[in-house]
Amino acid sequence: MPRPLHATVFPSALAHNVATVRRCLAQAAEPGASLPRVWAVIKANAYGHGIERMLPGASSADGLAMLDLEEAVRCREAGWAGPVMLLEGFFEPADLAVLERYRLCAVVHDASQLDMIRSIRPRQPLDIYLKLNTGMNRLGFAPGRYRAAYDEALALRAQGLLGSIGHATHFASGDSPEHVTHVAGIFDRATLDMPGARSLCNSAAIFGSPAFAARTDWVRPGICLYGATPFDDGAVSAQALGLRPAMALRSTLIAEQHVQAGGGVGYGARFVADRPTRVGIVACGYADGYPRHAPTGTPVVVHGVRTRLVGRVSMDMLAVDLQPVPEAQVGSPVTLWGADGLSVDEVAAAAGTIGYELLTAVTARVPMRTAQD
Ligand SMILES: *Cc1c(COP(=O)(O)O)cnc(C)c1O
């Protein structure tokens, strides 16, 4: 018998969330303006949901974006024929043959990548986006270097090595409209008079600055497509944005304990009962990807009732307070996140992290099912 812990993923939720992004853009756009196209970001194995499982939902986007060449190839092998973008471009000269064979477009963020194109000389012109560093100081050409990089790209195109040349950047604080406006100014000045598609907005910038996002050519939502909030401080919930969770993590109670007043629960007795307390043991631990640093009080739903985690999360189990759930018993269903009104963002906030980390941390030993709805 496998452990009762399992994750269910919902490709239909991803399709719903793509539609929600499009609706948000449509509502913010000037009347009659054409809307940006949508790169669905499916990096990190579709934020932990599984690329092949989520592809039926992701295929309602206009293109797919990721960093791993291997993930890009998996999309092609699963039948995706539309645009594919590599957000970090390519890493070594041999990668260019893969880009050519699978028709992948690449972000070029460093001069070394232009050098590789010059020396390998792909037979098919490669479509690229040049990346501008607008202050995040992670990837991209500095504004003062951007024109030189663009001129170099034009020279490569004149030799038949490049096809389209677009422009991209990434926001350090996409959830701040002031930051987005500031960065947009840097971006406009650096790319002024350069033709080509423009791609700037992640989930936070789409929902935080929709009127700006609606004026770009391609947006790049990631986390919102999986139904978690892009807002760091949880200021706006995923539900308020009209998003649906794409993963539910569920298990059951496998034991119960009657803890006396003064009795501890779990390693280090980090929780001590102040009165006789019924405690349930759930098959889910940090080796499954549940955050070990989630403290007592982290929300958990047992038998449809919201209660709290108590004591330290162990490798394979965690403990919950059954006082609010008198009907709970061994075998009762438990929701860790993504259903019964418990969002991954609430669990993440309690654990001092973000939904992105929890969704991408679910480990390989957790069986994943695809909901067919
Ligand atoms: C991850 C990523 C995105 C998507 O970000 P979300 O916050 O998940 O929407 C967009 N663009 C780039 C370059 C990224 O790396």
pLDDT of residue 189: 97
Q: Average pLDDT for residues 249-273, to the nearest whole number?
A: 97
Domains and CATH numbers, the chain: 11-226 (3.20.20.10), 247-370 (2.40.37.10)
Residue with tokens 């209660």: 307
pLDDT of residue 261: 98
Report the atom number in ligand 1 closest to the C-alpha of 221. 9
Query: Ligand 1: distance of its center to the CA of 66 in Å?
Result: 9
According to DSSP H, which parts of 282-337 are helical?
none
Query: 43, 146, 290, 356: which one is catalytic?
Result: 43
Which CB contacts under 8 angstroms, 24+ apart, belong to 185-188?
186/132, 186/134, 186/135, 186/143, 187/132, 187/134
Q: How far apart are CA 243 and CA 218, in angstroms?
A: 20
- Residue 12 CA from chain centroid, whole number: 16
Q: For this structure, is 267 an active site residue?
A: yes
Question: ∠146-151-154 over CA atoms, to 5°?
Answer: 125
pTM for this prediction? 0.97
Q: Which of 226, 182, 178, 171 is nearest to 204 (CA)?
A: 171
According to DSSP H, which parts of 141-209 are helical?
143-158, 177-191, 203-208
Q: For this structure, is 131 an active site residue?
A: no
Residue with tokens 């940006």: 36
- DSSP secondary-structure letter at 274? S
Q: Average pLDDT for residues 93-98, to the nearest whole number?
A: 97
153-200 per-position pLDDT tens digit: 999 999 999 999 999 999 999 999 999 999 999 999 999 999 999 999
Beta bridge partners of 252: 333
213 lines ligand 1 (CB under 6 A): no
4-31 per-position pLDDT tens digit: 999 999 999 999 999 999 999 999 999 9
3-state helix, strand, coil in the chain (%, to 5): 35, 25, 45
Q: What ranges make up the beta strands (E) of the chain? A: 6-9, 37-41, 63-66, 84-86, 105-108, 126-131, 162-168, 198-199, 218-219, 247-259, 264-265, 271-272, 277-283, 299-302, 305-310, 317-321, 333-337, 368-370
Q: For a pocket test of ligand 1, which of 66, 67, 220, 236 has the largest count of ligand atoms closer than 8 A to its C-beta? A: 220
Q: How far apart are CA 306 and CA 334, in angstroms?
A: 10
Which is higher by pLDDT, 30 or 1? 30
Crossing angle of the two packed helices 11-28 and 51-58, in degrees rounded to 10: 40
Q: For a pocket test of ligand 1, which of 202, 203, 236, 357 has the largest count of ligand atoms closer than 8 A to its C-beta? A: 202
Sequence-ordered list of residues with C-beta below 8 angstroms from that of 68, at least 6 positions apart, any chain? 43
| Beta-sheet pairing, 264-265 with 271-272 | antiparallel
Q: Average pLDDT for residues 236-246, to the nearest whole number?
A: 97
Q: Average pLDDT for residues 125-140, to the nearest whole number?
A: 97
pLDDT of residue 152: 98
pLDDT of residue 1: 66
Q: Which of 252, 349, 250, 253 is nearest to 297 (CA)?
A: 349
CB atoms within 10 A of CB 316: 18
